[in-house]
């Protein structure tokens, strides 16, 4: 009888050790999940990304700047051509 009780005690000790390890792992995972971004954070990020300029917007801005530079550098020729 003593041997059977000792065997049961050893098995329960192994189970307790495993449960302690699992509890530690779960606490670690819980800490990681609490630090993860929420759906609201992802929605805000998506809105910011969508607000970034697209290729066509950048091309338009570059074209406008190029036109302004061309007008400024050729202003004397433009005045002459218009007869001002």
Phi-psi region of 83 (alpha: psi -120 to 50; beta: other; left: phi over 0): left
Q: Which residue has the higher pLDDT, 82 or 63?
A: 63
Q: How far apart, in whole angstroms, are the C-alpha atoms of residue 78 and residue 31? A: 69
pLDDT digits (tens, 9 = 90+) for 64-80: 999 999 999 999 988 88
Task: Fill in the DSSP letter of residue 37.
Answer: -
Would you say residue 6 has pLDDT above 90? no
pLDDT digits (tens, 9 = 90+) for 28-77: 888 888 878 888 888 888 888 888 889 999 999 999 999 999 999 999 98
């Amino acid at each position: 009888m003593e041997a059977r009780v000792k065997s049961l005690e050893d098995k329960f000790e192994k189970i307790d050790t495993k449960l302690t390890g699992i509890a530690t792992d779960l606490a670690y995972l819980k800490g990681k999940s609490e630090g993860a971004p929420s759906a609201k954070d992802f929605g805000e990020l998506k809105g910011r990304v969508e607000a970034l300029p697209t290729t066509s917007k950048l091309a338009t801005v570059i074209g406008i700047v190029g036109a302004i530079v061309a007008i400024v550098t050729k202003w004397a020729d433009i005045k002459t051509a218009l007869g001002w």
